[in-house]
Amino acid sequence: MTHRTTDRPEIGVITQRSRRAFSRRQWARRWLTWKYVLAALVLVGLIVGSIWLFLFSSVLAVKQVDVQGAEKLKSAEVRAVAGLAEGKPLARVDLDDVRTRVQALALVSSAEVTRQWPDTIVIEIEERVAIATVEIGGQVRGLDLAGVVFDDYANPPNGLPRVETSTDAGREALREAAAVVSALPEDVAGMVDHVEVATVDQISLVLRDERVVVWGSADESDVKAEVLAGLLKKPGSTYDISVPGQVTIRP
């Protein structure tokens, strides 16, 4: 009997310990579950907060537009065409749309538009450079490397060859003429008074001393320019290099 009475307290202690251990395990399981729930809620909060911050708040909104590369154009013109409203969230600016608007300017050859966090849009433009002039509708205009007509001149710039086109010559003929002019070495280009363009396959150079170079099309223009550089040292009035391997000189 004595032995049994001494065992009962030990059993009670063990039972209490087991219950406490069970309670701790239960609490640990509940906490683990709630921990994931709390973590998920925090993550959702961060995502929602980030969306609001980037897409709807004025914290990361457009405050300035930085125009780079403008020389002939005024920065204000570029900003006006870009149509960027101050205060619009930076992340919601359609960069492709802005680039398309800016590239619609006659003087702009290409444009790149980027975000510069936290509050700036950068517009970097490359302006067209005239390699020749062409008269259209009584107005002297610039012709760039791609054959695009742009800008107006009250007085034609010095040193640029003039392109004269027939009424049948279209945009493609101007591109061909631009390709011919761009292939000329600087010293030869300085000798050219004007470029006559009848069609894409009938292009001629008229030099300042009235000699004529029959160029043909713009194909192999680099080869033709190299041949012409040496050919002009020979006497003649007309130099036909339309086929650079079969050059003819007429007195």
Residues 152 and 212: their CA atoms lie apart, in Å, by 28
Model pLDDT, residue 66? 96
Omega within 30 of 0 (cis) for the link into 118: yes
- The pLDDT of residue 52 is above 60: no
What rounded mean pLDDT belongs to the chain?
A: 84
| Domain locations in the chain as residue ranges | 1-56, 64-127, 132-250
- What CA–CA distance (Å, rounded) separates 21 from 13? 12
- Distance CA(26)–CA(34), nearest Å, equals 12
Q: What are phi and psi of 158, to 5 degrees?
A: -70, 145
Query: What is the per-residue pLDDT for 1?
Result: 47
- Residue 49, helix vs strand vs coil: helix
- Rounded to 10 degrees, the C-alpha dihedral 29/30/32/35 comes to 180
Selected residue with higher pLDDT from 57 and 62: 62
132-250: what fold?
Rossmann fold (3.40.50)
Q: What is the per-residue pLDDT across 174-211, written as a single tens digit (0 to 9) for each?
A: 999 999 999 999 889 889 999 999 888 999 999 999 99
Closest CA to 214 of 201, 229, 230: 201
Predicted confidence at residue 2, as pLDDT, reads 47
Question: Which of 81, 84, 73, 116 lies closest to 100 in space, CA to CA?
Answer: 81
- Fold assignment, 64-127: Ubiquitin-like (UB roll) (3.10.20)
End-to-end CA distance of the chain: 145
What is the chain's alpha carbon radius of gyration, rounded to the nearest angstrom?
38
Average pLDDT value for residue range 90-111 = 94
Separation CA 181–CA 161 (nearest Å): 8
List beta partners, residue 152. Answer: 141
